[in-house]
Amino acid sequence: QSALTQPRSVSGSPGQSVTISCTGTSSDIGGYDYVSWYQQHPGKAPKLVIYDVIKRPSGVPDRFSGSKSGNTASLTISGLQAEDEADYYCCSYAGSYTWGFGGGTKLTVL
């Protein structure tokens, strides 16, 4: 089963935009439009912020957006706010009822 590659950390100032990448293979990200992103604050369960590559669940601000090109998916957070500081994880379906997660990216709001 897949393990997806994310940068360990990113940072930005309030109001700026940041993009977090997630690289997989043609067997996961490249093969399906089933990429999701999760936000996790310390001691809490992950929270879904993007699904099906580009869709936002209700209640998630439109500052969060997703995209995909080839085997790499990206999460962009625009208009950074202090409460966006968290760990972010990507996830992709990898076929045959298997899924893989990325190692996580720590977002610091300066």
Partner 1 sequence: QVKLVQSGAEVKSPGASVKVSCKASGYTFTTYNIGWVRQAPGRGPEWLGWISTKSGSTNYVQKLQGRVTMTTEASTSIAYMELRTLRSDDTAVYYCARLDRSGSSWPDWGQGTLVTVSS
Q: Does 104 bind partner 1 (CB under 8 A)?
A: yes
Per-position x/- string for 2-41, each x denoting binding to partner 1 as judged by CB under 8 A, each - no binding: ----x-------------------------xxx-x-x---
Q: Are 53 and 60 in contact (CB under 8 A)?
A: no
Q: Kindly state the smallest distance separating residue 6's Cβ from partner 1, in Å.
A: 8
Three-state SS at 47: strand
Q: Are 14 and 64 in contact (CB under 8 A)?
A: no
Q: Which is nearer to partner 1, 12 or 102 (CB)?
A: 102
